Structure 1
Amino acid sequence: MSDKPRVLFVCVHNAGRSQMAAGWLRHLAGDTVEVRSAGSEPADQLNPVAVEAMREVGIDITDQVPVRLTWDAAEAGDVIVTMGCGDTCPVFPGKRYEDWKLTDPAGQPIDVVRQVRDDIRARVEKLLGDLHPQP
């Protein structure tokens, strides 16, 4: 792993879960981690309910756009976190992989998306602790 770990969050549409995870990691890690997100079938825009749920905790993800997962982006990551993209996510030897089983926020009411947001935060905090262990 490089001095500055590179984390790639991947879900199908890159409009909800992966964007919320990237938002949390950017918020909690600052510039100590390089953060990217992508989707196997990116949507046209972010899920507005996911945007609102993140706004409620002071994190603005409105400047992000769904992007397609590329081979190069996956190859460049030190840690690849998948969230429901199944077999469409490439596998590279020597990479650390995590598969987070999370409810897809698409079409869900805000109370469900808040639960997903909070679950993602807990997972991101654990990941961050693994990337930057305290002595």
Structure 2
Amino acid sequence: MPIPTVLFVCVHNAGRSQMAAGYLRSIAGEKVRVLSGGSEPGSALNPVAVAAMAEEGIDISAEVPSILETEQVRESDVVITMGCGDACPIFPGKRYEDWELEDPAGKDIATVRRIRDDVRGRVEELVRSLALPA
């Protein structure tokens, strides 16, 4: 059974999608392929998001915001959008979810922790719903 590919998409690919990707890599390891992209990628990761994830023992500091590529959507089994509107192309046969999450850009650490914890819960639920190899 092939491993599933999950794509996380948000506007800047600098906070929410990077936190979600970090959690999924941490929880599922090699049992899932993780991609992320942004409709309008930022120039750098949100440093408060990086700090909040470091508190969880997950280092996302080496990640770089990148543009969402149509090919990423085409090769993904699950596409999770986070406030990017109609920027994500739709392909038949894909599982799409839109997670309504507050944008952590410009927020203080307490707010980003709350967003991070929401992201973690959603990723944990996502992992339970995937048919991951043993």
Runs of 4 or more, structure 1, over 6 Å off, are none
In the TM superposition, what whole-angstrom CA distance separates every residue of 1:22-78 from its partner, at most 9, and x where no partner exists?
000000001100001000000000000000000011000011100000110111100
Q: Which residue pairs with 1:127 in the alignment?
A: 126
Q: Which residue pairs with 2:3 in the alignment?
A: 4
- Counterpart of 1:109 in structure 2: which amino acid? D
- Alpha-carbon distance between aligned partners in 2 of 1:86 and 1:39, rounded to the nearest angstrom: 11
Partner of 1:64, secondary structure, is coil
- Counterpart of 1:69 in structure 2: which amino acid? L
In the TM superposition, what whole-angstrom CA distance separates every residue of 1:6-32 from its partner, at most 9, and x where no partner exists?
000000000000000000000000110
1:54-73 matches, cutoff 5 A: 54-73=53-72
- Alpha-carbon distance between aligned partners in 2 of 1:61 and 1:27, rounded to the nearest angstrom: 11
Partner of 1:10, secondary structure, is strand
1:42-81 matches, cutoff 5 A: 42-81=41-80
In the TM superposition, what whole-angstrom CA distance separates every residue of 1:58-111 from its partner, at most 9, and x where no partner exists?
000011100000110111100000000001111111100000000000000000
How far the C-alpha of 1:3 sits from its partner, in A, is 1.7
Partner of 2:117, secondary structure, is helix
- Alpha-carbon distance between aligned partners in 2 of 1:98 and 1:78, rounded to the nearest angstrom: 11
Taking only aligned residues, the RMSD between alpha carbons, in angstroms, comes to 1.3
Identity %: 61
- Alpha-carbon distance between aligned partners in 1 of 2:131 and 2:47, rounded to the nearest angstrom: 32
- Counterpart of 1:34 in structure 2: which amino acid? R
Partner of 1:93, secondary structure, is coil
Partner of 2:36, secondary structure, is strand
- Alpha-carbon distance between aligned partners in 2 of 1:132 and 1:116, rounded to the nearest angstrom: 26
- Alpha-carbon distance between aligned partners in 2 of 1:15 and 1:101, rounded to the nearest angstrom: 16
- Alpha-carbon distance between aligned partners in 2 of 1:73 and 1:59, rounded to the nearest angstrom: 24
Structure 1 unaligned runs (5+)? none
TM, length-normalised to structure 2: 0.96
Partner of 1:25, secondary structure, is helix
Structure 2 unaligned runs (5+)? none
How far the C-alpha of 1:132 sits from its partner, in A, is 3.3
Q: Which residue pairs with 1:38 in the alignment?
A: 37
Partner of 1:4, secondary structure, is coil
